[in-house]
A and B are shown apart, each in its own frame.
Chain A
Amino acid sequence: MPLTTEQESRHLEKRHRKARFFAIFCAAITWSSVLLLAVLLYQVSIEGFRWLDWQFISSFPSRFPERAGIKSALVGTIWLISLVALISIPVGVSTALYLEEFAGKGKISKIIEVNVANLAGVPSIVYGILGLAIFVRFFALERSLISGALTMSLLILPVIIIASREAIKTVPQGIRNAAYSLGATKWQTTWAHVLPASFPGIMTGVILALSRSIGETAPLIMIGAMTFVAFLPEGPMDSFTAMPIQIYNWVSRPQEEFHELAAAGIIVLLAVLLAMNATAIFIRNRTERRMK
């Protein structure tokens, strides 16, 4: 007897065809978005490559394109991102831990959950207005790095909280039970087992959130980051500029050279973004491997 009848094999053939079609469909979509990104990069490179040299990276902005550079914006962005990471990661992860592990499943957690999810969808300019009112004016932090970092942290907190909660949810209950049955307190269980086990997932959320904040312009303009800064910030209270603002500024000038400078700025911005993500992914994979 043959393994399958003719009718069965025809049916099987059809199912295989469906699977193949779906695989090709997905691959096509993936590659088209990669292609789009490649075209964008190509375009930007062509335009900006000419300007991309050490002089560009190590110079302050200037009225003369050949003397202008991105130094203050680059340093400002690095400052900003570091502060945002320092503020948003501990706050976001603690919030997620609290909501998942300690708060219980009552009405209040439900309300908080819905609110956080909605906050993730609020336009960034609204956070800018909030930051202006609260940090710049009310707390009188002025148009400083710390105002920018706090505003930006508010903006990305929902993303970090939601991603961290999802990561914490995936930790098997068995691990918690094991810890409790050994006489561990809730805190010991959370700190020694739940947090490490959800770390890779939390890192993914943090990477996404920080990547978003590095490119955000609107809230920074709102709280009044400057567009022409010819000095480097030395502390969180100093005024600053950031790369997206510098790029925006260059793009909005009439001269063609400045548009090319903007392209060069975009390349630097992407490089910083890539470096940051690579570091985070490296850390994540190392801890992931350690846990296996």
Chain B
Amino acid sequence: MSQFPDSTLAEQNLQMSKKSVLELRNVNIFYSDNQAVNDVSFNIRRNKITAIIGPSGCGKSTLLRSLNRMNDFVDGARVEGELIFSNENLYGKEVDPVEVRRRIGMVFQKPNPFPKSIYNNISWGPLINGYNGSTDELVERSLKQAALWEEVKDRLHESALNLSGGQQQRLCIARALAMEPEVLLMDEPCSALDPISTARIEDLLFELKSSYTIVIVTHNMQQAARISDYTAFMEMGDLIEFNVTKKIFTRPAMKRTEEYVTGRFG
């Protein structure tokens, strides 16, 4: 504590870290020799939606994937710095990445249901992780959470590939929710969807907020403004600004942020 000259600031900081689930401290991410994320630090608060915005190629997906160690599967990807989750560095030696992914779920940009039944799509994750409750209940609960139950309750044992794109994406959300993750990471989950499906998923995120922490990458400014509580603006691998969403969209501290969110982006 002594390094904080101002005690109220120290207190604030402590308060903040209690409320944050994930703390990024000087995170650098490389692909072989190219650096894709430069020295990014911010906290992800519990039961809030954090949006990551920024121009294409600025490192949003890269940063998001580092939060549940999905970068492990990318050839040449390397993460430096600290990502603190439950008092542990996600990249610490004793940490099992499988356990990390079990607790920090992910929904991808392109819907990626397993080529199996709707039911099995949902139940597989929990089952391999030792779930021994009723799978029927689990499937129903997850599908209801993802606002898909009414549409599919009569064909749970049909292939998930017969669903529409929007339904598939909601299925993927339901599948992630079935694991009851502490954090849900979403990489442009609505980019392949029509406005109606998008609106449904946004509503859904709002409801999920009470029990989950959500980090969402989006290209859609209105979406970020509508649904998120905090926003991180990135550019060319740098975190330009991180703040409460309202601030970012009304009184950003940086000129670049303002230019980007108002669409006057060069």
Binding site for B on A (CB under 8 A): 105, 172, 174-185, 188, 192-193, 196-197, 291-292
Tell me how far the C-beta of A205 lies from the nearest C-beta in chain B, rounded to whole angstroms.
20
- B4 contacts the other chain (Cβ, under 8 Å)? no
- B159 contacts the other chain (Cβ, under 8 Å)? yes
Tell me how far the C-beta of B102 lies from the nearest C-beta in chain A, rounded to whole angstroms.
3
Binding site for A on B (CB under 8 A): 68, 70, 73, 75, 98-99, 101-103, 105-106, 108, 110, 112-116, 124-125, 128-129, 159, 161, 172, 175-176, 179
Q: Which of A178, A179, A196 has the most CB of B within 10 A?
A: A178
Q: Which of A174, A182, A291 contacts B101 (CB 8 A)?
A: A182
Q: Is the CB of B161 within 8 A of A184?
A: no
Q: Is the CB of A172 within 8 A of B112?
A: yes
Distance, CA A197 to CA B115, complexed state (A):
8
Q: Which residues of B contact A181 (CB under 8 A)?
A: 68, 70, 101, 105-106, 108, 176
How many A-B residue pairs have C-beta atoms within 8 angstroms? Tell me.
Answer: 67
Given A181-B105, A182-B128, A183-B103, 13 more contacts at CB 8 Å? Answer: A175-B112, A177-B73, A178-B108, A179-B114, A180-B101, A181-B108, A182-B124, A182-B125, A183-B99, A184-B98, A196-B115, A292-B115, A292-B161
Q: Which of A172, A174, A183 contacts B129 (CB 8 A)?
A: A183
Distance, CA A184 to CA B100, complexed state (A):
11
Tell me how far the C-beta of A62 lies from the nearest C-beta in chain B, rounded to whole angstroms.
54
Q: Is the CB of B159 within 8 A of A182?
A: no
Q: Which of B70, B99, B128 contacts A177 (CB 8 A)?
A: B70
Tell me how far the C-beta of B250 lies from the nearest C-beta in chain A, rounded to whole angstroms.
35
Distance, CA A180 to CA B106, complexed state (A):
9
* B159 (CB) vs chain A CBs: closest residue: A292
* B172 (CB) vs chain A CBs: closest residue: A178
Distance, CA A181 to CA B172, complexed state (A):
11
Tell me how far the C-beta of A134 lies from the nearest C-beta in chain B, rounded to whole angstroms.
37
Tell me how far the C-beta of B73 lies from the nearest C-beta in chain A, rounded to whole angstroms.
7
Q: Which of A174, A182, A196, A197 contacts B105 (CB 8 A)?
A: A182
Q: Is the CB of A180 within 8 A of B70?
A: yes
Q: Which residues of A contact B124 (CB under 8 A)?
A: 179, 182, 192
